[in-house]
Amino acid sequence: MLSQLRNLVLRLEELETQLAQPETYADPTKLSRLTKEQKDLTPVVDTYHRWQAALSELAGLEELLSDPECREMAQAEYGPLKTETSRLEEELKLLLIPKDPMDDKSVIMEIRAGVGGEEAALFAHSLYRMYSMHGEKQGWRLELAGLSETELGGIKEISFLVEGEGAFARLKHESGVHRVQRVPETESGGRIHTSTCTVAVLPQVDEVEFALNPADLRIDTFRASGAGGQHINKTESAIRITHLPTGTVVECQDQRSQHKNKDRAMSILRSRLYEQAVQEQEEAIAGQRRSQVGSGMRNERIRTYNFPQGRVTDHRIGLTLYKIDSVMNGDLEEIIDGLVLHARMEQQRNQ
């Protein structure tokens, strides 16, 4: 580990030297690559320097423990510093775990109403609102791709793009079945209903990363339905793309332009097929040991939103928060931080 850390320190120094050269700014692609690498390495190197400083201070305190005049003071500081040194070492181990190459990607999210009829559709709307508000807090940009609504304002199915740095790294653990327990507005007897929605989180992959064979595609146009005004409904701007080998179908009708709808549908299709390919590869290699991404975890309940008790429980990490209103308003940081840390610790154990 020490050798790896020293190499990272040298690499960061090289990057800073290159970024100080005027000619680097003449090549935007190179500048972007170097800046990103610098940003990735800086937290590791900073933590390494803090760990080194703590070790040095700890060694100094150990010498003072043998000095009768300083022993009491040294003992008082030794315990907390020893704990901090161990914490920094564990943090370094986590930081050195290789990143998922998809972590910096933008995200395509899909929310579908599950069991529970209209109440499930209303909860799907609540989840979309929750992720929208969370994305706004993170400075991400959301763009709607497809929407199927119910008469009461619920959502049968919705797909949207989340654009922003680290979006996939932060949102990928949201994939799965989300369960809600609450009294529906239409329930006169005050009985608590249980409904579910499924959330899928796909990394947005570029055409270079996952090419589609045009011969495998059937592209149909049709008139968009629902909101959008007369212009949309009078023109065949909506797009339906069918991937013939797998039968995967993607529809996109949110944009007024047929060209934009086609681009968005192709992007979603590439992401879905990429995820299917990853899942097949994981199943072939790992058998029953599968990672969170694209592993079939969507068939398991991952989180419960219990409104009468005001709590949200993530069952994967055993975290319960009694602030459901705050969570539904997009305050997901504590949950996501816990999931990211849990995933990295699992990855560390499996190495």
pLDDT value at 231 more than 70:
no
DSSP per-residue letters across 272-332: HHHHHHHHHHHHHHHTT---STTSSGGGSEEEEEETTTTEEEETTTTEEES-HHHHHTT--
Q: Determine the CATH number of domain 214-286.
A: 3.30.160.20
Could you report the per-residue pLDDT of 13-69, keeping only the tens digit for each? 888 888 888 888 888 888 888 888 888 889 889 998 999 999 988 888 888 888 888
Q: What is the pLDDT of residue 171?
A: 94
pLDDT value at 227 more than 80:
no
In this structure, CATH architecture of domain 107-205+295-350: 2-Layer Sandwich (3.30)
* Cα torsion angle, 103, 109, 112, 115, sign: positive
Task: State the Cα–Cα distance between residues 252 and 273, nearest whole angstrom.
Answer: 16
Indicate yes or no: pTM above 0.85.
no
| Chain centre to alpha carbon of residue 266 | 21
130 close to 327: Cβ distance less than 8 angstroms:
yes
Task: State the Cα–Cα distance between residues 114 and 30, nearest whole angstrom.
Answer: 46
Give Cβ neighbours of residue 106 (< 8 Å, ≥ 6 apart).
Answer: 161, 162, 163, 164, 167, 168, 203, 204
Q: What is the pLDDT of residue 301?
A: 87
Mean pLDDT in residue range 181-199: 83
Q: What is the pLDDT of residue 210?
A: 65
- 170's tokens: 């932060």
Q: What is the pLDDT of residue 299?
A: 46
Could you report the per-residue pLDDT of 265-303, keeping only the tens digit for each? 888 888 888 777 777 755 654 443 334 333 333 346 899
Element (H, E) at 149: strand 141-149
19 close to 34: Cβ distance less than 8 angstroms:
yes
Give the neighbor-by-neighbor strand order of the sheet with 217-222: 217-222, 238-243, 248-252
Q: What is the pLDDT of residue 297?
A: 37
**Average pLDDT over the chain, rounded to whole?**
82
- 301's tokens: 């309940």
* Cα torsion angle, 118, 120, 124, 129, sign: positive
159 close to 145: Cβ distance less than 8 angstroms:
yes
135 close to 242: Cβ distance less than 8 angstroms:
no
Mean pLDDT in residue range 239-267: 80
**CATH class given for the domain over 2-95:** mainly alpha
180 close to 130: Cβ distance less than 8 angstroms:
no
Rounded to the nearest 10 degrees, the angle between the axes of helix 333-350 and helix 71-95 is 80
Could you report the per-residue pLDDT of 342-351, keeping only the tens digit for each? 888 887 776 6
Task: Report the percent of the chain where pLDDT is more than 90.
Answer: 26
Q: Where are the domains of the chain?
A: 2-95, 107-205+295-350, 214-286
Determine the residue type at 122.
L
Strand partners, 143: 161
